[in-house]
Amino acid sequence: MTDPVSFFRSVAADHRRCFWLDGGGAREWSGRRSIIGWLGDDDVSLSWSAARREVTLHSGGTATVVGDDVFAVLEERIGAGEQWFGYLGYAARTDLPAAPDPVLPDAVWMRPRGVRVFEHGVDDQRSPADRGSLTLSASATPDNVSERPTTPYAEAFARVQEHLHAGNSYEVNLTHRLTRTSDLDPVAAYLRLRELNPAPYSGFLQHDVDGARAWLLSSSPERYALVTADRHLETKPIKGTTPRGASAEEDEAHRLRLASDPKTRAENLMIVDLLRNDLSLVCEVGSVEVPALMEVESYASVHQLVSTVRGRLRDDVSTVAALRALFPAGSMTGAPKLRTMEVVEEVESTPRGAYAGAFGWISGDGPADLGVVIRSLTTDGGGTWTLGTGGGITVRSDVAEEWAEAGWKAERLLRVFD
Protein backbone atom coordinates (compact mmCIF):
# COMPACT_ATOMS: atom_id res chain seq x y z
CA MET A 1 0.00 0.00 0.00
CA THR A 2 1.21 3.52 -0.80
CA ASP A 3 2.23 5.39 2.32
CA PRO A 4 -0.16 8.21 3.38
CA VAL A 5 2.35 11.01 2.85
CA SER A 6 3.03 10.06 -0.79
CA PHE A 7 -0.66 9.56 -1.45
CA PHE A 8 -1.49 12.90 0.17
CA ARG A 9 1.06 14.71 -1.98
CA SER A 10 -0.43 13.31 -5.18
CA VAL A 11 -4.02 14.02 -4.12
CA ALA A 12 -3.25 17.63 -3.15
CA ALA A 13 -1.43 18.16 -6.46
CA ASP A 14 -4.26 16.73 -8.56
CA HIS A 15 -7.35 18.06 -6.76
CA ARG A 16 -8.10 21.68 -5.84
CA ARG A 17 -10.46 20.49 -3.09
CA CYS A 18 -9.17 17.77 -0.77
CA PHE A 19 -8.43 16.91 2.87
CA TRP A 20 -6.42 14.68 5.15
CA LEU A 21 -7.72 13.80 8.59
CA ASP A 22 -4.39 12.58 9.88
CA GLY A 23 -4.21 9.81 12.47
CA GLY A 24 -0.42 9.76 12.58
CA GLY A 25 -0.30 11.58 15.93
CA ALA A 26 -3.39 9.96 17.41
CA ARG A 27 -3.99 8.56 20.87
CA GLU A 28 -5.82 5.46 22.01
CA TRP A 29 -8.95 7.55 22.59
CA SER A 30 -8.90 9.11 19.11
CA GLY A 31 -8.00 6.13 16.92
CA ARG A 32 -5.02 5.74 14.63
CA ARG A 33 -6.74 5.98 11.25
CA SER A 34 -6.11 8.52 8.50
CA ILE A 35 -8.74 9.54 5.94
CA ILE A 36 -7.61 11.23 2.73
CA GLY A 37 -10.36 12.46 0.44
CA TRP A 38 -10.77 14.46 -2.75
CA LEU A 39 -13.41 16.12 -4.90
CA GLY A 40 -13.83 16.21 -8.67
CA ASP A 41 -14.78 19.40 -10.50
CA ASP A 42 -18.49 18.57 -10.41
CA ASP A 43 -18.58 17.53 -6.75
CA VAL A 44 -20.17 19.72 -4.10
CA SER A 45 -18.58 21.86 -1.43
CA LEU A 46 -20.04 24.60 0.76
CA SER A 47 -18.53 27.82 2.08
CA TRP A 48 -19.94 30.21 4.67
CA SER A 49 -19.39 33.97 4.80
CA ALA A 50 -20.45 35.38 8.17
CA ALA A 51 -20.01 38.93 6.83
CA ARG A 52 -22.51 38.38 4.00
CA ARG A 53 -24.60 35.82 5.89
CA GLU A 54 -24.39 33.53 2.86
CA VAL A 55 -23.81 29.81 2.42
CA THR A 56 -22.49 29.19 -1.10
CA LEU A 57 -22.53 25.89 -2.97
CA HIS A 58 -19.55 25.27 -5.26
CA SER A 59 -19.79 22.74 -8.08
CA GLY A 60 -18.72 22.59 -11.72
CA GLY A 61 -17.09 25.99 -11.58
CA THR A 62 -20.29 27.71 -10.42
CA ALA A 63 -21.13 29.32 -7.08
CA THR A 64 -24.74 29.48 -5.89
CA VAL A 65 -26.05 30.95 -2.63
CA VAL A 66 -28.14 28.23 -0.96
CA GLY A 67 -28.87 29.58 2.54
CA ASP A 68 -28.08 31.97 5.36
CA ASP A 69 -27.14 29.52 8.14
CA VAL A 70 -24.39 26.94 7.67
CA PHE A 71 -25.80 24.57 10.30
CA ALA A 72 -29.23 24.62 8.62
CA VAL A 73 -27.73 23.93 5.20
CA LEU A 74 -25.66 21.04 6.56
CA GLU A 75 -28.76 19.61 8.26
CA GLU A 76 -30.60 19.75 4.95
CA ARG A 77 -27.89 18.49 2.63
CA ILE A 78 -26.02 15.71 4.47
CA GLY A 79 -27.84 12.61 3.28
CA ALA A 80 -27.96 9.12 4.74
CA GLY A 81 -24.82 7.18 3.90
CA GLU A 82 -22.82 10.34 3.21
CA GLN A 83 -19.82 11.73 5.07
CA TRP A 84 -18.94 15.41 4.82
CA PHE A 85 -15.58 16.83 5.85
CA GLY A 86 -14.66 20.38 6.77
CA TYR A 87 -14.46 23.10 9.38
CA LEU A 88 -16.71 25.51 11.25
CA GLY A 89 -15.02 28.83 12.02
CA TYR A 90 -15.57 30.76 15.24
CA ALA A 91 -18.25 32.90 13.52
CA ALA A 92 -20.29 29.92 12.30
CA ARG A 93 -23.31 30.57 14.54
CA THR A 94 -25.44 33.52 13.47
CA ASP A 95 -26.98 34.00 16.94
CA LEU A 96 -23.70 34.55 18.80
CA PRO A 97 -21.30 37.53 18.69
CA ALA A 98 -18.19 36.84 16.60
CA ALA A 99 -16.27 38.92 14.05
CA PRO A 100 -16.24 37.49 10.50
CA ASP A 101 -12.95 36.50 8.92
CA PRO A 102 -12.12 39.21 6.33
CA VAL A 103 -10.10 36.84 4.12
CA LEU A 104 -11.03 33.16 4.51
CA PRO A 105 -14.47 31.53 4.54
CA ASP A 106 -15.94 31.19 8.03
CA ALA A 107 -16.73 27.54 7.23
CA VAL A 108 -15.95 25.05 4.46
CA TRP A 109 -17.56 21.63 4.01
CA MET A 110 -16.93 19.02 1.30
CA ARG A 111 -18.72 15.93 0.02
CA PRO A 112 -15.86 13.89 -1.44
CA ARG A 113 -15.90 11.80 -4.57
CA GLY A 114 -13.47 9.33 -3.06
CA VAL A 115 -11.66 8.57 0.17
CA ARG A 116 -8.81 6.31 1.14
CA VAL A 117 -8.15 5.05 4.67
CA PHE A 118 -4.75 4.33 6.20
CA GLU A 119 -3.92 2.72 9.54
CA HIS A 120 -1.04 4.07 11.65
CA GLY A 121 1.14 2.43 14.27
CA VAL A 122 1.51 3.52 17.89
CA ASP A 123 3.05 6.99 18.23
CA ASP A 124 6.07 7.92 20.33
CA GLN A 125 5.14 9.57 23.65
CA ARG A 126 8.59 9.81 25.22
CA SER A 127 9.66 13.14 26.65
CA PRO A 128 11.37 15.65 24.32
CA ALA A 129 14.67 15.09 26.14
CA ASP A 130 14.48 11.32 25.61
CA ARG A 131 13.63 11.80 21.93
CA GLY A 132 16.37 14.36 21.44
CA SER A 133 13.82 16.74 19.87
CA LEU A 134 13.25 20.46 20.17
CA THR A 135 11.63 21.59 23.41
CA LEU A 136 10.87 24.90 25.08
CA SER A 137 11.49 25.30 28.79
CA ALA A 138 9.28 27.40 31.03
CA SER A 139 11.80 30.24 31.07
CA ALA A 140 12.46 30.29 27.33
CA THR A 141 10.79 32.31 24.60
CA PRO A 142 10.95 31.37 20.91
CA ASP A 143 12.84 33.79 18.71
CA ASN A 144 9.74 34.78 16.74
CA VAL A 145 7.48 35.55 19.75
CA SER A 146 8.02 38.78 21.70
CA GLU A 147 9.15 38.21 25.29
CA ARG A 148 7.01 40.91 26.89
CA PRO A 149 3.26 41.32 26.38
CA THR A 150 2.45 43.72 23.57
CA THR A 151 0.48 46.84 24.44
CA PRO A 152 -2.73 45.62 22.72
CA TYR A 153 -2.56 42.33 24.65
CA ALA A 154 -1.87 44.07 27.97
CA GLU A 155 -4.78 46.45 27.40
CA ALA A 156 -7.12 43.59 26.47
CA PHE A 157 -5.99 41.65 29.55
CA ALA A 158 -6.71 44.66 31.78
CA ARG A 159 -10.17 45.07 30.27
CA VAL A 160 -10.87 41.36 30.82
CA GLN A 161 -9.91 41.78 34.47
CA GLU A 162 -12.43 44.61 34.78
CA HIS A 163 -15.17 42.35 33.45
CA LEU A 164 -14.12 39.50 35.75
CA HIS A 165 -14.14 41.73 38.83
CA ALA A 166 -17.51 43.16 37.79
CA GLY A 167 -18.94 39.63 37.72
CA ASN A 168 -19.66 39.64 33.97
CA SER A 169 -17.68 36.42 33.51
CA TYR A 170 -15.92 33.79 35.60
CA GLU A 171 -13.28 33.01 32.97
CA VAL A 172 -12.45 34.57 29.60
CA ASN A 173 -10.42 32.82 26.93
CA LEU A 174 -8.32 35.71 25.63
CA THR A 175 -6.62 35.12 22.28
CA HIS A 176 -4.71 37.04 19.69
CA ARG A 177 -3.71 36.45 16.09
CA LEU A 178 -0.16 36.17 14.77
CA THR A 179 0.68 36.55 11.09
CA ARG A 180 3.67 35.44 9.07
CA THR A 181 4.58 36.06 5.43
CA SER A 182 6.00 33.05 3.61
CA ASP A 183 5.86 31.52 0.15
CA LEU A 184 6.01 28.04 1.69
CA ASP A 185 3.72 25.63 -0.13
CA PRO A 186 0.79 24.53 2.10
CA VAL A 187 1.54 20.83 1.52
CA ALA A 188 5.17 21.27 2.54
CA ALA A 189 4.08 23.40 5.49
CA TYR A 190 1.71 20.71 6.71
CA LEU A 191 4.26 17.93 6.43
CA ARG A 192 6.65 20.09 8.45
CA LEU A 193 3.92 20.80 11.04
CA ARG A 194 3.02 17.14 11.53
CA GLU A 195 6.67 16.36 12.26
CA LEU A 196 7.03 19.24 14.72
CA ASN A 197 3.75 18.80 16.58
CA PRO A 198 1.96 15.44 16.08
CA ALA A 199 -1.52 15.50 17.62
CA PRO A 200 -4.79 13.53 17.68
CA TYR A 201 -6.66 16.06 15.54
CA SER A 202 -4.02 16.75 12.95
CA GLY A 203 -5.27 17.43 9.47
CA PHE A 204 -5.13 19.40 6.24
CA LEU A 205 -7.91 21.00 4.20
CA GLN A 206 -7.48 22.54 0.77
CA HIS A 207 -10.36 24.50 -0.81
CA ASP A 208 -8.75 26.21 -3.81
CA VAL A 209 -11.92 27.78 -5.20
CA ASP A 210 -12.38 31.32 -6.52
CA GLY A 211 -14.01 33.51 -3.89
CA ALA A 212 -13.66 30.92 -1.13
CA ARG A 213 -9.99 29.93 -0.97
CA ALA A 214 -8.87 28.32 2.27
CA TRP A 215 -6.10 26.12 3.55
CA LEU A 216 -6.35 24.84 7.12
CA LEU A 217 -3.38 23.01 8.66
CA SER A 218 -4.23 21.52 12.05
CA SER A 219 -2.18 19.94 14.83
CA SER A 220 -4.84 20.12 17.52
CA PRO A 221 -4.85 17.92 20.64
CA GLU A 222 -8.43 18.76 21.67
CA ARG A 223 -11.67 16.91 20.92
CA TYR A 224 -14.60 19.22 20.16
CA ALA A 225 -17.24 16.53 19.80
CA LEU A 226 -17.53 12.82 19.13
CA VAL A 227 -20.97 11.40 18.31
CA THR A 228 -21.00 7.60 18.36
CA ALA A 229 -23.24 5.18 16.49
CA ASP A 230 -25.23 4.62 19.71
CA ARG A 231 -25.77 8.41 19.98
CA HIS A 232 -23.39 9.19 22.81
CA LEU A 233 -21.90 12.69 22.68
CA GLU A 234 -18.43 13.28 24.13
CA THR A 235 -16.19 16.32 24.43
CA LYS A 236 -12.70 16.58 25.96
CA PRO A 237 -11.98 20.18 27.00
CA ILE A 238 -8.39 21.28 27.61
CA LYS A 239 -7.77 23.93 30.23
CA GLY A 240 -4.21 24.13 31.55
CA THR A 241 -0.97 24.03 29.59
CA THR A 242 2.71 23.89 30.53
CA PRO A 243 5.79 23.33 28.34
CA ARG A 244 7.70 20.06 28.31
CA GLY A 245 10.94 19.99 30.27
CA ALA A 246 14.44 19.84 28.81
CA SER A 247 15.29 16.85 31.05
CA ALA A 248 13.25 13.95 32.39
CA GLU A 249 13.31 15.46 35.88
CA GLU A 250 12.25 18.91 34.71
CA ASP A 251 9.57 17.37 32.50
CA GLU A 252 8.06 15.47 35.42
CA ALA A 253 8.17 18.58 37.61
CA HIS A 254 6.23 20.53 34.99
CA ARG A 255 3.66 17.74 34.73
CA LEU A 256 3.11 17.55 38.49
CA ARG A 257 2.86 21.32 38.80
CA LEU A 258 0.17 21.40 36.10
CA ALA A 259 -1.80 18.61 37.78
CA SER A 260 -1.81 20.30 41.19
CA ASP A 261 -1.96 24.05 40.44
CA PRO A 262 -5.12 25.47 42.12
CA LYS A 263 -5.66 28.18 39.49
CA THR A 264 -5.39 25.75 36.59
CA ARG A 265 -7.69 23.24 38.24
CA ALA A 266 -10.26 25.98 38.90
CA GLU A 267 -10.15 27.00 35.22
CA ASN A 268 -10.65 23.41 34.10
CA LEU A 269 -13.55 22.86 36.50
CA MET A 270 -15.36 25.99 35.30
CA ILE A 271 -15.24 24.78 31.70
CA VAL A 272 -16.35 21.29 32.72
CA ASP A 273 -19.38 22.84 34.40
CA LEU A 274 -20.11 24.91 31.28
CA LEU A 275 -19.95 21.82 29.08
CA ARG A 276 -22.11 19.80 31.43
CA ASN A 277 -24.71 22.52 30.94
CA ASP A 278 -24.23 22.55 27.14
CA LEU A 279 -24.66 18.78 26.95
CA SER A 280 -27.72 18.87 29.21
CA LEU A 281 -29.49 20.96 26.55
CA VAL A 282 -29.35 18.10 24.02
CA CYS A 283 -28.84 14.94 26.10
CA GLU A 284 -31.21 12.69 28.03
CA VAL A 285 -31.89 13.74 31.61
CA GLY A 286 -29.45 12.07 33.97
CA SER A 287 -27.10 10.84 31.21
CA VAL A 288 -24.47 13.61 31.42
CA GLU A 289 -21.36 12.46 33.28
CA VAL A 290 -17.67 13.32 33.72
CA PRO A 291 -15.78 10.02 33.39
CA ALA A 292 -12.37 11.73 33.49
CA LEU A 293 -11.60 14.91 35.40
CA MET A 294 -8.34 16.84 35.00
CA GLU A 295 -6.02 14.18 33.61
CA VAL A 296 -2.59 15.21 32.26
CA GLU A 297 -1.91 14.38 28.60
CA SER A 298 1.60 14.91 27.26
CA TYR A 299 2.39 16.06 23.74
CA ALA A 300 5.52 16.92 21.80
CA SER A 301 5.86 20.44 23.17
CA VAL A 302 3.38 20.75 26.06
CA HIS A 303 1.54 18.98 28.86
CA GLN A 304 -2.23 19.59 28.92
CA LEU A 305 -4.89 19.21 31.63
CA VAL A 306 -7.83 17.39 30.03
CA SER A 307 -11.30 16.39 31.21
CA THR A 308 -14.01 14.31 29.51
CA VAL A 309 -17.73 15.13 29.50
CA ARG A 310 -20.23 12.66 28.02
CA GLY A 311 -23.97 12.18 27.61
CA ARG A 312 -26.56 10.41 25.45
CA LEU A 313 -28.39 12.49 22.84
CA ARG A 314 -32.16 12.76 23.11
CA ASP A 315 -34.08 11.05 20.32
CA ASP A 316 -35.34 14.39 19.00
CA VAL A 317 -31.83 15.91 18.62
CA SER A 318 -29.89 15.44 15.36
CA THR A 319 -26.13 15.31 15.16
CA VAL A 320 -25.91 18.73 13.49
CA ALA A 321 -28.22 20.22 16.13
CA ALA A 322 -26.00 18.80 18.88
CA LEU A 323 -22.85 20.23 17.27
CA ARG A 324 -24.57 23.62 17.03
CA ALA A 325 -25.61 23.57 20.68
CA LEU A 326 -22.01 23.00 21.80
CA PHE A 327 -20.54 25.56 19.39
CA PRO A 328 -18.10 27.15 19.88
CA ALA A 329 -16.15 24.98 22.30
CA GLY A 330 -16.49 26.19 25.88
CA SER A 331 -12.73 25.91 26.37
CA MET A 332 -12.33 28.61 23.69
CA THR A 333 -14.92 31.03 25.10
CA GLY A 334 -15.04 30.93 28.89
CA ALA A 335 -18.04 30.94 31.19
CA PRO A 336 -20.85 31.82 30.97
CA LYS A 337 -20.66 31.37 27.20
CA LEU A 338 -22.86 34.13 25.73
CA ARG A 339 -21.79 36.94 28.07
CA THR A 340 -18.15 35.90 27.78
CA MET A 341 -18.32 35.87 23.98
CA GLU A 342 -19.60 39.45 24.22
CA VAL A 343 -16.53 40.30 26.30
CA VAL A 344 -14.28 38.56 23.76
CA GLU A 345 -15.89 40.52 20.94
CA GLU A 346 -15.21 43.75 22.83
CA VAL A 347 -11.57 43.17 23.79
CA GLU A 348 -10.03 41.16 20.94
CA SER A 349 -8.77 43.37 18.12
CA THR A 350 -8.62 40.69 15.41
CA PRO A 351 -11.14 38.07 14.22
CA ARG A 352 -10.52 34.45 15.17
CA GLY A 353 -11.49 32.96 11.81
CA ALA A 354 -11.20 29.18 11.72
CA TYR A 355 -9.28 29.32 15.02
CA ALA A 356 -11.45 28.33 18.01
CA GLY A 357 -13.85 26.55 15.67
CA ALA A 358 -14.10 22.83 14.83
CA PHE A 359 -12.61 20.58 12.11
CA GLY A 360 -13.53 17.01 11.22
CA TRP A 361 -16.34 14.95 9.71
CA ILE A 362 -20.11 14.50 9.98
CA SER A 363 -22.05 11.45 8.79
CA GLY A 364 -25.62 11.51 7.55
CA ASP A 365 -26.18 8.36 9.59
CA GLY A 366 -25.44 10.11 12.88
CA PRO A 367 -21.79 9.67 13.90
CA ALA A 368 -19.36 12.60 13.82
CA ASP A 369 -15.88 13.43 15.08
CA LEU A 370 -14.40 16.93 15.20
CA GLY A 371 -11.45 18.56 16.93
CA VAL A 372 -11.15 22.11 18.22
CA VAL A 373 -9.17 24.32 15.84
CA ILE A 374 -6.13 25.17 17.96
CA ARG A 375 -2.40 24.81 17.16
CA SER A 376 -3.38 25.46 13.54
CA LEU A 377 -2.30 27.55 10.57
CA THR A 378 -4.52 29.11 7.91
CA THR A 379 -3.90 30.87 4.61
CA ASP A 380 -5.77 31.86 1.47
CA GLY A 381 -2.72 30.91 -0.61
CA GLY A 382 -1.54 34.49 -1.04
CA GLY A 383 1.57 34.16 1.12
CA THR A 384 0.14 35.41 4.41
CA TRP A 385 -0.35 32.85 7.18
CA THR A 386 -2.33 33.33 10.39
CA LEU A 387 -2.50 31.47 13.67
CA GLY A 388 -4.35 32.12 16.89
CA THR A 389 -3.09 31.54 20.41
CA GLY A 390 -4.14 32.43 23.94
CA GLY A 391 -5.56 30.97 27.13
CA GLY A 392 -8.10 31.20 29.91
CA ILE A 393 -8.00 34.31 32.11
CA THR A 394 -9.36 34.42 35.66
CA VAL A 395 -9.05 37.01 38.43
CA ARG A 396 -5.91 35.18 39.61
CA SER A 397 -4.14 35.37 36.23
CA ASP A 398 -0.89 37.26 35.67
CA VAL A 399 -0.46 39.08 32.36
CA ALA A 400 3.18 38.04 31.88
CA GLU A 401 2.45 34.38 32.65
CA GLU A 402 -0.54 34.31 30.28
CA TRP A 403 1.50 35.91 27.50
CA ALA A 404 4.24 33.34 28.01
CA GLU A 405 1.72 30.48 27.86
CA ALA A 406 0.38 31.81 24.56
CA GLY A 407 3.98 31.78 23.31
CA TRP A 408 4.52 28.15 24.32
CA LYS A 409 1.41 27.19 22.40
CA ALA A 410 2.48 29.05 19.26
CA GLU A 411 6.16 28.14 19.11
CA ARG A 412 5.90 24.82 17.28
CA LEU A 413 3.67 26.35 14.61
CA LEU A 414 6.06 29.25 14.06
CA ARG A 415 8.95 26.81 13.64
CA VAL A 416 7.26 25.69 10.41
CA PHE A 417 8.60 28.87 8.80
CA ASP A 418 12.19 28.59 10.09
* Domains of the chain listed by start with CATH number: 4-417 (3.60.120.10)
Active site residue 236: no
CA contacts within 13 A on the Cβ side of 37: 23
Which of 171, 222, 402, 405 is labelled catalytic? 222
DSSP, collapsed to helix, strand or coil, labels residue 90 as coil
In total, the chain counts a number of residues equal to 418
In terms of Cα–Cα distance, which of 99, 117, 138 is closest to 350? Answer: 99
pLDDT digits (tens, 9 = 90+) for 127-157: 443 433 444 433 334 444 567 899 999 999 9
Q: Convert 155-186 to b/e letters by CB count within 10 Å (16 or more is b).
A: ebbeebbebbeeeebbbbbbbbbbebeeebeb
Which residues of the chain fall below pLDDT 70?
A: 1, 26, 29-30, 122-146
Single-letter amino acid, residue 226: L
The pLDDT value given to residue 384: 98
Active site residue 239: yes
In terms of Cα–Cα distance, which of 326, 348, 125 is closest to 234? Answer: 326
Write the CA distances from 280 to 72, 270, 277, 316, 374, integer angstroms.
21, 16, 5, 13, 25
| Contact between residue 196 and residue 416 where contact means Cβ atoms under 8 Å apart | yes
Which of 171, 236, 239, 411 is labelled catalytic? 239
The pLDDT value given to residue 126: 44
Question: What is the rounded distance in angstroms from the CA atom of residue 164 to the CA atom of residue 158?
Answer: 10
Predicted TM-score (pTM) of this structure: 0.93
Burial of 364 by CB count in 10 Å (0-12 exposed, 13-18 middle, 19+ buried)? middle
The pLDDT value given to residue 192: 97
The pLDDT value given to residue 354: 98
